[in-house]
Structure 1
Amino acid sequence: MNLHLIMQLSACLLLLVIKSVNGAKVLFFCPVPAHSHQKMYTAVWKEMSFRGHKVFVVTPNPAFNKSMVNLTEYDISSVYEFQRSQIKPEWKETVFKKPTFLGLIARQIVIQYVGGDGMEFLYQHAEVKRLVKEHNNFDICLFEWFHPALAIYGHLFNCPVVGLGSNSLPIQMLDSVGNPSHPITAPEQDLPIPRMSITFFQRVWSTFWTIFARLQHKYFLVPMEDARIRRYYGSKVPYLGDLEKNISLLILNRNPAFHRPIPNGPNVIELGSIQYKWSNITFDPDLKQFLDNSNEGVVYFSLGVSMEGTSMPPRYLGTFQAAFRKLPFQVLWKWENSSMHNKPDNVLIAKFVPQVLVLLKFLIVPNGTLPQLDAIIGWDVINQPGLQLLKTKTGLELQHTLAVRLCDVVWRALSQRGHDVHVLTPNPLNDPTLNNLTEYDLSDFYEDLKAMKNDDIQYFLHRPTFFSSFVKDVVATKMFSRLYNKTINHQETRRLLRENDRFDAVIVEWIFPTLASIGAYYKAPIIGITSLGAPLVALDSLGNPSHPLVAPEMNLPLKRDLSIKERLLSVLYAFYVRLYYWVVVLPREDENVKKHLSSELPYIGDIAKSLSLLLMNRNPVFHRVVPLNPNTIDLGGISVLSPATSLDSELKVFIEKSSKGVIYFSLGSLVQSVFLPPKTIETIQNVFKSLPYSFVWKWENSSMINQPTNVYISNWIPQTALLEHPNVKLFITQGGLQSTEEAIAAHKPIIGIPFHSDQTTNVDTCAMYGMGKLLDMEDITIETLRSYILEIVNNPRYAENAKKLDELMKDQPQDGLDKAIWWIEYVIRHKGAKHLRSIAVDLPWWQYFLLDVFGFIFTVLLIFLLSVRFTLKLVFRLISYIRKPKEKSMKKKKQQCFTMTQLKTL
């Protein structure tokens, strides 16, 4: 089903409810500078605009489409520059490391700080100020629900708040709508815990993370962001902790077929899979030629957008190059530079690869033959949180790309449906046909992201471990805080705040709670949306269960079958993330919100709980099965609806001239291939040289030392179009959700090399379905990499299983885009849909965790034991008292008998 058909079906659904929501004034707040995030939001706000709604969009990627008369955009594109400034150079090496327990905790702390800074950036942005100045109210506010501070705009505009998420959300974000999020039933998405067969130690690990996330959200992030909001919007605003509970609807890019089936709250909607639009997609001539000319097929290697192949440590880069050299296939490597050192001859590198096109076209082969792309290697590198503005300090550009694409689809649909959509985005559509779309350009945040990656990428260049996960969390939370401050202070954000006084709903990417203050600011329903699954703290916002074993944190480097140690680590991590969120993040972010947005806003923790809807890019078929309240909706692969970018001529020629096929190698945008250890790079080059295939390597530099002759390097590759090419044999990727979805949609198998976030789980899931294999980065050798490539390329069952998985994920009654639009309008019709709110949102933490119940039981047992002890003691004393006279009488008789005996003797 293409995007055009989806829009038609959505329009038909609109006719059923048009009497209630026709011509509604809608605020769409999507500030994260990430193209992948923006695509979903763009689709939604465009559809709402086309449906007759007056849509106002705060976005770093404005479409500037004059044909969309119902769309007003607020350009906050400067958020890109701010985002790039957050990543430090040392992160480039650690991004390839396996996340650890302490690393996840540290990263979570950093994310909270960064999120607060990002919200403050939005508060100070001219476009956001303009939005607040020009509008007193909206019918509904739709947010990227990744930060509770966004709920402030729902309050300011006095309207229901709808949150949008291009993936799953943190626990604190889900708490805002009252879904159950028990650490055992629905663990934090950042924990890389397997979907099934969770061990004891993994349960302990996830439980610890769950408790930590809620504590840090309630006692740190929310108070901090509440103070920040009051500094910008006055001291009379409600507490952010209360505002986040007023979320009417939360929309996420999730799919119940791909992610785990979970019970949902009624105000959280899973959009499900939104299919790609395949028409009018063309290849770059060079890339097409490279793919077509490969006799043995093409292996597509890409690490996504946020993790660039050029960031790969040299030793890892060498490993891939060595492995590709030994393969008989052509390798298409998504490489961010124009050249690659030691590039194998069979490798074609490209800065941009139309991945969707490559994956899709590979399915279209003569005589019904099997796809030539037999495998896609997945590399798990980065956390999912799909923030467009408040990203982890790891610079998760993969999440950026996925979330932007998901946002584009959603806000485009909203605008096209007649809604007046306003988008704050770093990836404006600039589509003149979207008359109802107003974009606020934050595209300058990409420069900030680039700067941030230079500083922080080193944290992700190694195998993910339990402790590294905590470190990455600390770094990421700080980056989120800084990005929020920059976004809220961006001139485009200020313009949005100045030009709009109300919205019917606010849609936010719900990764960091700070942006929820925008919804509270407008007093509109907040809808959260994420490009991946949700962290534990995000699920807590809606009251969803988040058990550390049933649904462990996605960022933990855990597979499906957890050991006792992994269960313990998962429980501990769950305690940590909530504690850090409540104690550190919420107070800090609340201060940021009140400082940069409004001091009158509610506490950020309360704003986060006011989320009306959360949309996640999940599918229960692919992800763990977890229970969610009805207001939590799995959208599935909504991001794949975005049209693929065509291949450039040089890349197309390289692909089509490969007689054996092409292998694509890309580490995404965050983890660049150039930062891989030299030994790894050499190993990769040696593998590439040994193989008869051509390789496209996403290489972030213009040249590569010892570049194999069969390797094509490029700092940007149209990954979707590349994967769709029939000559692509294999996709070596970091295992991000976007790359995984594109591979599944194109029926391409994968080999996963996980590094961070949900990538371990994604790759392990693909391996479970038989469409790929998992390979740790530090386990890469010439022999292992070469054997993995040859096995998958030469075995057609991997591609067949990918096709089966795609069919399974798509087998659902409603696609993701229709779900997103319907629930956004539902929140508008019912003024926030408060009846969908779970009572778990308003329960004190000590009640939610049954501390009062256990305390009562303990008290009763203690009283009982004390009573028994007292009774026994009394009985023993009575017995002793009764026996004492008898003993004296017996003793006296004995003495008398002894005296008589003595007398007789005398």
Structure 2
Amino acid sequence: MKFGLIFLIVLGSLLTRETESAKILSVFAFPGPSQYIFASAILKNLAERGHEVTSISMFPQQKPVKNFRDIYIPENANLVADLLTDVDEMQQLSELENMMAMYDIGLSMCPNVFRNKEIQKLLKSSEEKFDLIIMELFLAESLYGLAQHFNAPIVGLSTFGTTSFIDRVVGNTSPPSFLPSVFTPFDTKMTYRERLSNFIHIGIDNLYYNFFYLPKQEEIYKQFFPNAKISLQEIQKKFSLVLLNQHFSLSYPRPYVTNMIEVGGVHIKQIPDPLPQELQAFLDNATEGAIYFSMGSNLKSKDLPPEKLQIFLNVFRSLKQKVLWKFEDTELPNKPDNVYISKWYPQPSVLAHPNVKAFITHGGLLSTTEAIYHAKPVLGIPMFADQPMNVANAVKRGYAKGVDFKTLNEADLKLGLSELLYNPIYTQNVQMYSKRLRDQPMTPVETAIFWLEYVLRHDGALHLRNTGADLNFWQYHSIDIILTIVGVILFVLSFITLVIYKLIGLIYGKRSKRKTKSKQN
């Protein structure tokens, strides 16, 4: 009992430790609402703690927030929308084509940010000063230049965990032998074929990133920061901290360096917001249970091919459960009576309702995290990026059923839902993972705030960085050492071979001389 009291006192002192009010610049240029949902939870908490937050994004606050300033970037609005409108065409993309399409977005996104009038005004202002830069790490390399421009420490946020280009900024290691690429549907226990595929995929990704994509980002950096005193490569080595939207209970244990911190679930409130009255009544009256269906914030259900829409309508019509469908149009022809449509739902609050029994989702990481936190079994229909991997992991962990969108039919959809609704093992499994996710010494948002303020308290906290971040690829993997050792071994073997060859020649020479003498005698 005493130990518990001491622990709570120590924990309370950590969370209330004084940190001077700071001016913070946040840059989230990617036009995905789910990415910004992750960031905004952290930014709003910083503002509540008295820090002055300037947020560069596509998603300004609907209502004014104290200590919070938005800089709106509408120029990037259609970058992802154009990619996702034609669902059939998107489904034809291979994993590598999917990856390259993402990189193309980055090369368009960053110049759009720099050309924005408000950003230009910010860059030219002599009065704007910042104590910390919080930067999204996804496809935003040239934007890292804002850290050198304002001479401020830089912290990275990753909305999907880590990958090779994120590992690079902090010198982290991600062995491809057991850590799958986010663009593959593998988990940590890979077969030989999967390990080979994963190795090749990561290799191609690294080659494309380092020799095609990154040089183009360096060109953008030089264009908009012509007087920069340090290179983009040097800025990449100055990250104080990286906060990851991940947690081992959501995926799997893996290595991290000291300044990589897991804060998966940071956007989830411990006490969900109340539901709108009409929605609350609809779910309260769902005596047979309810199903929640959303394809996320980027992909819109209204853009689904007509034949796929009809499959969903037919299956939903046959269910006795009610269905909440995130449908981005005011009308849905032939909508069944048990289906409730809306362009937007407060998803965490919906999933928290006890009558919601299953969640049909695209498998995005935020949605997967919310499903686990609120213990709802999942029917996953992955579309692109990390979604196939998230759904594959959920299926292997026993709280999800997966359906291939390309071959989606009424029988498979209905069978998958029936399994989730009537086989209790799926709910039992997700409840176990929910318990693990919730069992943390601090909430994810408290963890994030503690480490961000730690960086502020310790002048950038560069002591957290490991020296692996300063090494190049050859040095980091000791390839130069291995080549030296191999060279020495080859030299020694060559020398020994030469000596043996000469000895053999000498021996045979002496023998031949003896034979010649004996013949002469």
The normalised TM-score by structure 2 is 0.89
Q: In structure 1, what is the Cα distance between the partners aligned to 2:430 and 2:143?
A: 37
Alignment of 1:495-506 (within 5 A): 495-497=121-123, 498=125, 500-506=127-133
* Per-residue CA distance 1:602-657 (angstroms, 9 max, x = gap): 22222122111110111012223221111111112101139866655655555454
* Per-residue CA distance 1:827-880 (angstroms, 9 max, x = gap): 222221222221111113221121211111111121122112211211221122
1:452 lines up with 2:71 in the alignment? no
Which residue does 2:137 correspond to in 1?
510
Which residue does 1:411 correspond to in 2?
43
Q: In structure 2, what is the Cα distance between the partners aligned to 1:826 and 1:774?
A: 41
Q: In structure 1, what is the Cα distance between the partners aligned to 2:200 and 2:90?
A: 20
Which residue does 1:479 correspond to in 2?
105
CA contact (8 A) 1:421 1:438 kept: yes
Which residue does 2:260 correspond to in 1?
632
CA contact (8 A) 1:737 1:762 kept: yes
Q: In structure 2, what is the Cα distance between the partners aligned to 1:14 and 1:718?
A: 28
Q: Equivalent of 1:22, from 17, 20, 23?
A: 20
Q: In structure 2, what is the Cα distance between the partners aligned to 1:773 and 1:430?
A: 36
Q: In structure 2, what is the Cα distance between the partners aligned to 1:642 and 1:594?
A: 44
Alignment of 1:863-882 (within 5 A): 863-882=491-510
Alignment of 1:385-424 (within 5 A): 389-390=29-30, 397=32, 400-401=33-34, 403-424=35-56
Q: Equivalent of 1:605, from 199, 211, 233?
A: 233
Q: In structure 2, what is the Cα distance between the partners aligned to 1:468 and 1:642?
A: 39
What amino acid is aligned across from residue 38 of structure 2 in structure 1?
L
Alignment of 1:202-281 (within 5 A): none
Shift of residue 732 of structure 1?
A: 0.3
Q: Equivalent of 1:815, from 423, 443, 447?
A: 443
Query: Residue 642 and residue 584 in structure 1: after superposition, are their counterparts in 2 closer, same or farther (change >3 A)?
Result: farther
Query: Residue 756 and residue 558 in structure 1: after superposition, are their counterparts in 2 closer, same or farther (change >3 A)?
Result: farther
CA contact (8 A) 1:593 1:599 kept: no
1:13 lines up with 2:10 in the alignment? no
- Tell me the number of residue pairs that the alignment of Structure 1 and Structure 2 aligns: 511
* Per-residue CA distance 1:268-320 (angstroms, 9 max, x = gap): xxxxxxxxxxxxxxxxxxxxxxxxxxxxxxxxxxxxxxxxxxxxxxxxxxxxx
Q: In structure 2, what is the Cα distance between the partners aligned to 1:462 and 1:851?
A: 42
* Per-residue CA distance 1:477-521 (angstroms, 9 max, x = gap): 121222221222223323443264422211111223222111111
Q: In structure 2, what is the Cα distance between the partners aligned to 1:838 and 1:482?
A: 32
Query: Residue 733 and residue 461 in structure 1: after superposition, are their counterparts in 2 closer, same or farther (change >3 A)?
Result: farther
* Per-residue CA distance 1:91-111 (angstroms, 9 max, x = gap): xxxxxxxxxxxxxxxxxxxxx
Q: In structure 2, what is the Cα distance between the partners aligned to 1:686 and 1:820?
A: 44
Which residue does 1:719 correspond to in 2?
347
Query: Residue 648 and residue 811 in structure 1: after superposition, are their counterparts in 2 closer, same or farther (change >3 A)?
Result: closer
Which residue does 2:4 correspond to in 1?
none
Larger strand proportion of the pair: 1
Q: Mean Cα displacement is larger for which, 623-632 or 721-730?
A: 721-730
Shift of residue 794 of structure 1?
A: 1.2
Alignment of 1:761-772 (within 5 A): 761-772=389-400
* Per-residue CA distance 1:776-820 (angstroms, 9 max, x = gap): 323433222211111111123322332221221122222222222
Q: In structure 2, what is the Cα distance between the partners aligned to 1:463 and 1:420?
A: 40
Partner secondary structure for residue 375 of structure 2:
coil
What amino acid is aligned across from residue 444 of structure 1 in structure 2?
P
Query: Residue 500 and residue 616 in structure 1: after superposition, are their counterparts in 2 closer, same or farther (change >3 A)?
Result: farther
1:857 lines up with 2:489 in the alignment? no
Answer 1 or 2: higher relative contact order, Cα 8 Å, separation at least 6: 1
Q: In structure 2, what is the Cα distance between the partners aligned to 1:430 and 1:781?
A: 40
CA contact (8 A) 2:57 2:71 kept: yes
Q: Mean Cα displacement is larger for which, 649-658 or 517-526?
A: 649-658
CA contact (8 A) 1:553 1:570 kept: yes
What amino acid is aligned across from residue 410 of structure 1 in structure 2?
I
Alignment of 1:890-901 (within 5 A): 890-892=518-520
1:544 lines up with 2:172 in the alignment? yes
Q: In structure 2, what is the Cα distance between the partners aligned to 1:501 and 1:651?
A: 44
Query: Residue 570 and residue 421 in structure 1: after superposition, are their counterparts in 2 closer, same or farther (change >3 A)?
Result: same
CA contact (8 A) 1:462 1:755 kept: no
Q: In structure 2, what is the Cα distance between the partners aligned to 1:538 and 1:425?
A: 20
Q: In structure 1, what is the Cα distance between the partners aligned to 2:149 and 2:206?
A: 25
Which residue does 2:72 correspond to in 1?
442
Q: Equivalent of 1:728, from 352, 356, 361?
A: 356
Partner secondary structure for residue 178 of structure 2:
coil
CA contact (8 A) 1:752 1:772 kept: yes
Structure 1 runs not aligned, ≥5 long: 1-7, 33-388, 392-396, 894-906
Shift of residue 527 of structure 1?
A: 0.7
Q: Mean Cα displacement is larger for which, 550-559 or 859-868?
A: 550-559
Partner secondary structure for residue 630 of structure 1:
coil
Query: Residue 589 and residue 10 in structure 1: after superposition, are their counterparts in 2 closer, same or farther (change >3 A)?
Result: farther
Partner secondary structure for residue 874 of structure 1:
helix
The normalised TM-score by structure 1 is 0.53
Q: In structure 2, what is the Cα distance between the partners aligned to 1:884 and 1:15?
A: 92
Structure 2 runs not aligned, ≥5 long: 1-8
1:491 lines up with 2:146 in the alignment? no
* Per-residue CA distance 1:125-148 (angstroms, 9 max, x = gap): xxxxxxxxxxxxxxxxxxxxxxxx
CA contact (8 A) 2:145 2:235 kept: yes
Q: In structure 2, what is the Cα distance between the partners aligned to 1:523 and 1:599?
A: 13
Partner secondary structure for residue 546 of structure 1:
coil
Alignment of 1:634-783 (within 5 A): 634-641=262-269, 647-648=275-276, 651-652=279-280, 654-783=282-411
